[in-house]
Amino acid sequence: MVHCTPKFVQNFGVFFVSKYKVQVKLNVINAYLNGMGSQMVARKFGIKSRNTVLCWVKSYQKHGLNGLKKRKNIIEYSTKEKQYILNWMKTTKSSYPEVAYHFNIPSPSTIWTWEKRLEQKGIDGLLSRRERKSVTKKKTNKINSNNTNTDKEKLKKLEEENLMLKIENDFLKKLRALDDEEDQK
């Protein structure tokens, strides 16, 4: 699956970058769901790729109208949410677009960025803007205080890691149970 991105759309003989309006997306989805092939729909509506059509259809089927609307607010994910999403991707062996679709994340490249930051900087690489600000404040306060803050931070990191391991363990147990069921059949 390919994620929907801005496309060059021809209008009055001039090309300009534009996001498709929700009504156009709904018309495209309706045409596809009424039996027209994705390639034919793409040609009819002047969409560059049939993958865009399929992306819109899947997004609409999973998330409804909200899956088609342009987001006005930037969603900021917490470190725990990012860890959970990356762990889910790893355990399900899903691709970036599949994960983006599953969690309604606008761009698969966001997940790729999280993964690279985690590889390069560890858990600190996943900190959101707000969390980074609070960490820098903590660092300045840390200089003035004893090592109790570092112990608290270590404990917090260990608790987060423990939570992620529990989630992964539960997932693997369920996966084994499904495999056992299939083997018994």
Dmax over Cα atoms in the chain, in whole Å?
68
So what's the pLDDT on residue 137? 59
| pLDDT tens, position by position, 93-115 | 998 888 888 888 877 888 999 99
Distance CA 48, CA 8 (A): 8
So what's the pLDDT on residue 35? 94
State whether 84 and 111 are in the same domain. Answer: yes
Instruction: Evaluate whether residue 110 is within a structural domain.
Output: yes
State whether 173 and 131 are in the same domain. Answer: yes
State whether 104 and 125 are in the same domain. Answer: yes
State whether 93 and 43 are in the same domain. Answer: no
Instruction: Evaluate whether residue 175 is within a structural domain.
Output: yes
Rounded to an integer, what is the distance from CA 123 to the centroid of its chain? 18
Instruction: Evaluate whether residue 1 is within a structural domain.
Output: no
Of 67, 99, 118, the one marking the end of a domain is 67
| pLDDT tens, position by position, 126-155 | 887 666 656 555 555 555 555 667 888 888
Residue among 123, 151, 126, 122 nearest 138 (CA): 151
State whether 91 and 150 are in the same domain. Answer: yes
The four Cα atoms 171, 162, 74, 107 give a dihedral, to 10 degrees, of: -40
* 153 φ, ψ (degrees, to nearest 5): -65, -40
Would you say residue 13 has pLDDT above 70? no
State whether 63 and 131 are in the same domain. Answer: no
So what's the pLDDT on residue 17? 31
Instruction: Evaluate whether residue 73 is within a structural domain.
Output: no
Residue among 38, 75, 73, 53 nearest 3 (CA): 53
Average the pLDDT over 42-63 and give the result.
Answer: 88
Number of domains into which the chain is organized = 2
Domain that holds residue 58: 7-67
Model confidence band, residue 14 (pLDDT cutoffs 50, 70, 90): very low
